[in-house]
Structure 1
Amino acid sequence: MNRIARVASTLLVVCAGVAFGVVAMTGVVAAVVFPTVRDLGPVLPDHASYTGPHWSLVAGVVAEGVFRIGFVVVGVALFGALVGVLVLAVRRGARRLPVVRLGLVLVTLGLFLTHAGWLQPRMNEAASEYRDAAVAGDNDRASEAKSRFDSMHPTASRLIGATTIAALLLFVCSAWAATERGAWPARGGDGDDR
């Protein structure tokens, strides 16, 4: 395998691993933050006239920040993975196209973009309206906005789970292909550019 293919293969493996790790950890952070903050039972003084659960406001702000950062990192990582697999697909002398890896990159990217580009903006809008209504003491509007957010949550959870699984499969498949094809020569190997 030539140097360009090695770099592309390494880029693909690293970016797939980063995407998997960050998507998985954003889900874990949300799963830990919400029950922890709920159990702490915070009361927000500037939301005194809001009669709903204050803990969901606090946990929501924290989780939204984690997701925003995670989306940037995962987006960059999946772009890097796409570049890596495309270089492998078009490199001169390729005997076999990386069809499975390309398919997994596209599936992972599609799931990610569905969540980050379509669902999450709608959820953020509902969360923002919920927070604004809660601080204003408009309990009915806050309840309606929270209900809208809550109705989207199961879809978001499924998308996070599916993206995590797709990114894991991409990582494993890419690492397997890289080691099997000699992208990373064994220690003490001649390291020739095949």
Structure 2
Amino acid sequence: MTALTRRKILCATASAVMAAVSAKVYAQHGNMGPVRPPVRLTDVSVVDQTGTTRPLEELLRERVTAVQTIYTGCSSVCPLQGALFGAVQDRMLQARTRYPIRLLSIGIDPFGDVPSALREWLASFNAGPGWDAVTLAPDNVDRTRAELAGRTSPASNIADHSTQVYCFDHYAMLRWRSADFPRVEEVCDVLGALGV
């Protein structure tokens, strides 16, 4: 199976799953929508797909960024999340915004989400230069997941990780949390609004 065919299958599956999420589920989701006041994450060091260690805040500054949490060993929801970002990437290539758009997949399995695994994961979704993946250090996983979700503590099992998308403005401030499995159009609309 070619990468393009696999990607089309994943996109179609992701669209079907996202369409199946009812309005009732969206309405019952606790921490979604605009984040008021905006939140700055605790700045932690991350390792990206090239093996470079950088501050997370550096990746979030000067761009409008959509963030998702994944782990490369996941075979359930993470491929759907990758397909979602693939579709967002395709649409946002045509966007004309004041601030560049970045997609950032944050690996929450520091022992499995090594740079080579992150590179393979990105390649499986034809990630372009505006889509990066990073891994958190073991000591920072729980805190960063909790801050993203707006909770005091994350789910204890990484398999129960969020399928929300988190959007940051060019000042590295968290401005919006989606419901689980957001629609592509919804993420693109938020990125476009933050990018003006």
Q: TM-score range by the shorter chain?
A: under 0.3
* Bigger Rg, which one: 1
Greater fraction of residues in helix = 1
With a CA cutoff of 8 Å and minimum separation of 6, indicate the structure with the bigger relative contact order. Answer: 1
Write 1 or 2 for the structure with the bigger share of strand. Answer: 2
